[in-house]
Structure 1
């Protein structure tokens, strides 16, 4: 592997694929598509659909099984070993291909580890990053809201940190990703917050909800559970704003 293309493809809508992304996909000798198990088969299907929409049915695609993370021990130690395993899986799947592409949900720079995994490859290929539309952008566009107040900062964080550490200091707006436990339920004084939530944002299956947190929380939890049961997987994100 001499070149590795990390291509942001947005949140699952083929219209999110930029002109630059389309050109770089066409330049690749091989496009790798990870399989994450039967419960997330739709994610591989979406990548296939995007490749076919851009390059046609004869696109050079190779699929591989994504290694699973051992969650039994220390979190960072488990992630480190997992990333090593993924790097080896990339090399094995790429074979003799020189220019290899990976399609990254959203953008490779935001809560995605592809760049950190790519840094483990030896010998190191030349890496080209193609930016994509993030779930943050897709969420705020869907709700037609700005991400920040006038001149004010905001934080992008995870559900785990919101649960463990509470509201981030120094901001009145937080965008929360990677939250499988609806951690907005852990906030004290929920009446101080408004929430804008979305699942499958940008996709045909998109679901949105919004409102004062005490009114919307239970509704979102129930909607999320139904959607996950219906699809077998869910990707969601939300913005919280403190009054």
Structure 2
């Protein structure tokens, strides 16, 4: 199936597993294209962001229905602070409204909300709402929804390295004993399943400083759809592409040995 063509029928978890083995446990999404969507429709960028929030709701619902264990969304990068102040204000307002209007529903549906990234003091109300979302849903056992806010992959690795350096300085760890598992355990995503699939919308083909360590052996799927138009059928298309991939993690196909 060519990427860009919508699937002709709905794909349930059982179809995905028969088509190509187990589906991904952990899916990350770079939600790109709100501004271009707004421009294409002759609307202000703020409307593109608002429609993008609706796509988030559709995606969470579809992920639950398709049996995905964890979804991580790139909501606001550490580089996004360089955008115009008015746009940043609109994005923060949308985030506040989303939490206030959707948090109880997510909690009722057993979704656990987690926030990764560096805490930012510029908006105490946003910070308080994010912490409320984490605390309310802390013991939920359904879909893990991780929101990357004020997040940058390089910064995450830097913060993890500093944690390990502090352990060395305190005499609790030897530098020569540090393993990949130690560093992975110091990352924001330490208690999430390994990342299986990264989806980016809008046709751009780069990670943009998102989950750099975790993406080392993840499958990457780039879709031409702009984020406000993303829905279950596009998610299914990405899952179908994932099912066709041969994940070797650096090894050989058993038939080639």
* Same fold (TM > 0.5): no
Using CA pairs under 8 Å that are at least 6 residues apart, name the structure with larger relative contact order, 1 or 2.
2
Query: Normalization by structure 1: what TM-score?
Result: 0.28
Which structure carries more helix by proportion? 2
More strand by share: 1
